[in-house]
Chains A and B, each alone.
Chain A
């Protein structure tokens, strides 16, 4: 999730995963021809013309990309197969190449494994929760009410732009045991709430709740837009046919929401797989490493100066993200 007043963050600064990537893989567009009805030799020159124009349009990105992205990525990939420590950075080639040692070291580190398990737990529970909350809110705002939409829209989006520090203070109070709001609320139903942030079994659920609360606003807005594009005529037709609201939702709305759903799932999962701020601010990875995530652990390794190991960990994270993203594309492919 994007860092706000936090210490680290997406150094690729401005636009990074949170309300991030749109859907659409590289294989969903067939190669472009020169347009209908143009024949023979014209195709060739039309392509050349397009090609020239395309390269002119692409030059700024390519230059900036090569300089500020490609080179650092290559350098960090190189670091990940060496034994670079912080003090070696001034002489980047005076290091030993150790091949895939860093990767095996990371994968066999029990703390890294625990962090990976925690991160998986976080994503597998947090993502559905966030999406359900977002979809429910979106449906409520879209169909349920007609007035004050803008107020609710802005309000639900607030957590996304509020400083994590303020968020942390209020959430710490909510989760306090005894006396916190959540446990008081549970008490009304006769349930004794646990010591959320102090109990290793309940610390991750607490952070999941907080993350869902913090991020559902973004997903909600995207769902809202998707819902608004569902033509009203289809709903009317469904109602005339005697379908109930729930049936209409299932058979009319949801299928048309598929692309939006993919978009939201991909962006949320990329963000959640790199979860960092919540454990960093609330629990520092504890208690007993129950909230340690892979991003946090990697950040720690950078802090210790173990640049090679930390780089290797980052690329392991990247591979997982890529696989998960590809899986989601498979699952939610447009079936036309």
Chain B
């Protein structure tokens, strides 16, 4: 029995085989300690956003704020035209995510299931792009986008990222795990190739699509350098750029604003993650196993 069949027809988890449940309290304890250690910086970040600048620079760092205040947040929302930057970030992230979900699955399907000339060439191109450090193509890409007149536009912010090689790869791996018989059944029924893709294959890719969606959204949301250089006017700034505006200085950093900003930025990611968590885990399972 192959592993993927097992994956597709999920057996219910019945817990450990042949061990007692009660004696595991020590494991829970250990894990809890580990959890606290791991989550600590995140907790510090959130707590720190309520502290004053002087307290933030103290060594050793304090945990609970000496006098908690919302000053950092009021300053942030006061100065920042928050709605605008948030909208820009959301629009770009959603478009990039949607684009990736559609185009990557299209090509992933073609690479996994169809036979055509140039298949190997395209796949090699995908793999190669994956391994090239992004920093080296940055400036040529910018000049290209500038010459295309896309500077300071929303398309300039999202076009270069509409389909990513990683996404293609992920979808290819997932679709590889589907039985070929589905295709043949579809063809026998007289469906065209594209219809097979749309109606038969794609619905089975739920988990992988959720995975791709979360990772793409995360990457786009946190992207800093590209929006920074592409935007000429503040109206086009995304959230990370705007936040950096108020927290980093020529010689010093405004930690309070920085932490408040970091906390604010993380909220949509957490929401997306929590909503898709279940499908996300399933999704990694289907692709990682190949």
Contact = CB atoms under 8 A, between A and B. Distances in A.
Interface string B206-244: 000000100111111011111000000000000010011
B125 interface: yes
Contact of A11 (B15, B44, B135, B222): B135
Contacts of A310: 135-136
Contact of A173 (B59, B117, B165, B269): B59
A177 to B, nearest CB: 12
Given A11-B137, A298-B133, A54 B27 contact: no
A111 B76 CA distance: 42
A3 B224 contact: yes
B114 A54 contact: yes
Interface stretch (B65-73, B78-86, B172-180): B172-180
Which of B1, B169, B290 has the most CB atoms of chain A within a 10 A radius of its CB? B290
A76 B187 contact: no
A187 interface: no
A89 interface: yes
A155 B134 CA distance: 30
Interface in A1-37: 2-17, 19-24, 26, 28-29, 31-36
A51 B132 CA distance: 29
Interface stretch (A94-102, A117-125, A219-227, A284-292): A219-227
B289 A318 contact: no
B262 A11 contact: no
Nearest to B37: A213
Given A54-B110, A158-B39, A166-B45, A35 B130 contact: no
A128 interface: no
Contacts of B133: 274, 295, 298, 314, 317-318
B48 interface: yes
A58 B118 CA distance: 11
B54 interface: no
B215 A14 contact: yes
A167 B141 contact: no
A231 B290 contact: no
Interface in A235-252: 235-236, 239, 245
Nearest to A312: B136
Interface in B98-119: 100, 102-104, 106-107, 109-110, 112-117, 119
Contact of B262 (A5, A29, A53, A157): A5
A23 B42 contact: no
A151 B38 CA distance: 12
B28 A9 contact: no
A180 to B, nearest CB: 8
Interface in A290-313: 295, 298-299, 302, 307, 310-311
Contacts of B183: 35
Interface centre among A52, A161, A180, A314, by most chain B C-beta atoms within 10 angstroms, is A161
A333 to B, nearest CB: 12
A225 B44 contact: no
Interface centre among B15, B34, B212, by most A CB within 10 Å? Answer: B34
Given A10-B134, A15-B219, A61 B115 contact: no
Interface of B: 1, 3, 6-7, 11, 13-19, 21, 24, 27-28, 30-31, 34-35, 38-42, 44-45, 48, 59-61, 96-97, 100, 102-104, 106-107, 109-110, 112-117, 119-120, 122-125, 127-141, 143-144, 159-170, 172-173, 176, 180, 183-184, 187, 192-194, 197, 212, 215-220, 222-226, 240, 243-244, 255, 258-259, 262, 265-266, 269-270, 273-274, 277, 280-282, 284-285, 287-290
27 contacts: A6-B224, A12-B164, A13-B164, A14-B220, A16-B164, A21-B130, A23-B173, A35-B184, A50-B116, A53-B197, A57-B114, A58-B122, A64-B103, A68-B144, A68-B160, A69-B165, A73-B129, A73-B137, A137-B34, A159-B38, A159-B42, A225-B285, A229-B3, A231-B11, A315-B132, A318-B132, A321-B131
Given A35-B183, A72-B138, 6 more contacts: A10-B134, A51-B117, A145-B28, A154-B273, A170-B44, A171-B41
